[in-house]
Each structure stands twice: as C-alpha cells, then as structure tokens.
Structure 1
C-alpha cells in the first residue's frame, strides 16, 4: 500500500520538476499520511537477492504460461521449470501465479448429451411380442 503511495509521490515530483515547478514532497507525504523517513528509505532501497530471484522466477512463469497459450497450471509449469534446472515447489509456483493474477484454463470434458433419433434399425423385438394383432 505504502509503496504505491511512494511511487505516486515520486511520479508527481518528477512531473513537477520537468515542468519547472516547485513542489513540496514533504507536503504531499504529510497529506497522504506517510512519513518522510519511510519515503527516503524506500528511495534508497536496493532489492535483495531473494527479491531478484522471485522476480526472475515470476518472469519465467509468465513466459511459460504464455507459451502454453495460457493453458498450463502450477503442476505443469513446475515440471517445465525443474527441467530447466530451477529448484522450486509446486505450491510456490501456485502462489506466484495467484499473485500475478493468472490461472490455468479448465476445459470441461466433452460428453455425449443427445442420442440418435433413428431407433428403427437398432431396436429389435427380442420378446417377439405382437403389438398389432389381427
């Protein structure tokens, strides 16, 4: 939540700077209810190795998902990732997919719902019953 606020403040500050206007970042932060120290810390933030790996795995998942025409789910994507040498669990792939808002398409199995109406050739009078006696 606060990251979105920080991004918005940064974009507005850059836009004002390009338009050669003076803008108070501290004032914007105060109005939005965010501390200046938190904003400054966010500006200097360097992503950790875990964050970098997470983002690279998410990019691979998205690539595999798109190559499969958006059909593969977490189990199949996990298999493909493991073949490429990535060590990851199916549950983690599922969580990443949920965070990215993607999921496999489920195709309903096709079943016969109608019968052929031509019964005359298929049905036989096994009991030899006479329905129209003279």
Structure 2
C-alpha cells in the first residue's frame, strides 16, 4: 500500500500514531456546541447568531469558523418568509369563478348555442405543451383549438 501511494512505511505509521491537533480538537468541540445551539433554536439560527450565542456562553469563536463548520455538517438556517397582507383584497378564486349557467345540463339541442372549453397538458421530450379546445355541446365537435408552450 505504501508503494502504491509512494510514501514511506515510517511516514505512514507516524501518521497513524499521530495525536489530533489542537485545532482539530477545538473544531470537534465547536461542532458539538454548534449542533446543540442549532437544535435548541429549531434550526432558525445561522452562523452569526450561533457565534453570538456561543460568545455569550463564554466560548470564543467567530462567525466564519461557525459558518465553515456548519457547512461541513450540512446545517443551514431556515429562511424567514414575509407574509403578504391580503386584508381588504378580493380572493383570487372569488374573482376567477363565474356563475354556473349550465347547472350540469350538458345535453343541448341548439347547435352553436353553448361552447365549453378545456385545457390539456401534453408532456413531450422538450417540455410541456398546452392544448386548449372549444367544444360545441350539441354536436360534441371541437370548434377551435390552440397549442402553445405557455398556458396563456
């Protein structure tokens, strides 16, 4: 194995017996503390706030070291989503839904009196296509259609 890696046997055994450095030991300690603070705050704290809390607890570190260790442990803070006030504004569904004139009476005798529409999604290799058709209820024949890459 040493020949394959082109290192001496003595160098390999020195590496195996070597004690962890002070920096490595400190990082192991900080990783446990960062994980503790992160879980205490339900994943909401990022590296600046964790570093500040650790400093307040008497553990001296900076936010860059905390950020590097958090990245190593795959920890990231949950983002904050601002709520948009919708007070006094009409709901989208209330403005989009119209009165039901058909009342589920789909059998009609008069040709071209009532048309209905539908949108169908067609999945292709290069994306999705949208097929919009207008159908006459009396003859059940599509009167017109449009195929598009966008829904509008």
TM-score w.r.t. the length of structure 1 is 0.57
Higher Cα Rg: structure 1 or 2? 2
How do residues 1-134 of structure 1 correspond to structure 2 at under 5 angstroms? Answer: 26=1, 29-30=2-3, 33=5, 35=7, 36-112=9-85, 115-116=89-90
Change (3 A) 1:113 1:78: same
More helix by share: 1
After TM superposition, where is structure 1 displaced by more than 4 Å over at least 4 residues in a row?
none
Following TM superposition, by how much is the alpha carbon of 1:90 offset from its aligned partner in structure 2, in angstroms? 1.5
Rounded Cα–Cα distance in structure 2 between residues aligned with 1:50 and 1:71: 27
SS at match of 2:45: coil
Rounded Cα–Cα distance in structure 2 between residues aligned with 1:55 and 1:44: 19
Rounded Cα–Cα distance in structure 1 between residues aligned with 2:29 and 2:39: 15
Matched length: 90
Unmatched 5+ residue regions in structure 2?
Answer: 95-152
Moved more, 81-90 or 38-47: 38-47
Change (3 A) 1:108 1:51: same
Rounded Cα–Cα distance in structure 2 between residues aligned with 1:62 and 1:73: 11
TM-score w.r.t. the length of structure 2 is 0.51
Following TM superposition, by how much is the alpha carbon of 1:65 offset from its aligned partner in structure 2, in angstroms? 0.7
